[in-house]
Amino acid sequence: MIGIIFEVVRASRLIELLGLLQARGRMTAGQLAAELEVSQRTVLRDIEALSAAGIPVYPVRGCFGGFELLDGFRSDLPAAVAPRGRGPAGPNAQRARVRLSPRGRRLAALLGRPPDVRVRRGPHVVTGREDWVEASVRVDSADVAVLDMLALGTEAEVLHPPELRTGVREAAARIAALHAGPGGGQ
């Protein structure tokens, strides 16, 4: 249980670090450590974790150095200090039921999407996927929810509503068709 708490705290800090770099641009390890209230060593480990997750953050050496995101990179996080919680749901918000692998849970926490993931406790075990969990996620827009699910790739399965499940299946089919040929725009 304590390990899960530490994992959630770290995921939250990674999202906050990403939000800081997105909002403020280049920052030193010292500045990030002060903002996040952790050591500079922890910041370096977190930068390494973001890089390993495919976030294009890189060091800039010299007296005006620090860390920054690749020019033009944008996450779906608001460009303010990274969120510690989500804003209120829109008037059309509903909840979807999904199944997430352990990696899917980590990706969702790191990416901050889909929003407002709530893991459900219960005996919903699927043979071959015993370590997967059921969760509910907030859906403000069907189009955005499809993109959120696609961002998790094969680490998430939509269970309900059927319209979202169909949207993800159709989008995945379009992606598969796009990549079915020899490639390279030929």
In which band, very low, low, confident or very high, does the pLDDT at 97 lie, cut at 50, 70 and 90? very high
Beta partners for 138? 95
Q: What is the pLDDT of residue 29?
A: 92
Q: What is the pLDDT of residue 99?
A: 92
In which band, very low, low, confident or very high, does the pLDDT at 80 lie, cut at 50, 70 and 90? very low
First to last CA, the chain: 52
Q: What is the pLDDT of residue 3?
A: 61
Bridge-based pairing state of the strands 156-160 and 133-139: unpaired
Q: Check: CB of residue 32 under 8 Å from CB of residue 43.
A: yes
Is omega for the bond preceding 91 within 30 degrees of 0, making it cis? no
* Extended strands (E) in 90-186: 94-100, 118-120, 133-139, 156-160
pLDDT over threshold 50, residue 124:
yes
In which band, very low, low, confident or very high, does the pLDDT at 86 lie, cut at 50, 70 and 90? very low
Q: What is the pLDDT of residue 79?
A: 43
Q: In terms of C-beta density within 10 A (0-12 exposed, 13-18 middle, 19 or more buried), how is residue 116 classed?
A: middle
User: Which pLDDT tens digit goes with each residue over 153-186?
Assistant: 899 999 999 999 999 999 999 988 888 877 665 5
DSSP 83: P
Averaged pLDDT, 4-28: 80
pLDDT over threshold 80, residue 135:
yes
pLDDT over threshold 50, residue 111:
yes
Q: What is the pLDDT of residue 180?
A: 85
Q: What is the pLDDT of residue 43?
A: 93
Q: Which residue bears the tokens 């399965």?
A: 157
pLDDT over threshold 50, residue 151:
yes
Q: Check: CB of residue 139 under 8 Å from CB of residue 94.
A: yes
pLDDT over threshold 70, residue 77:
no
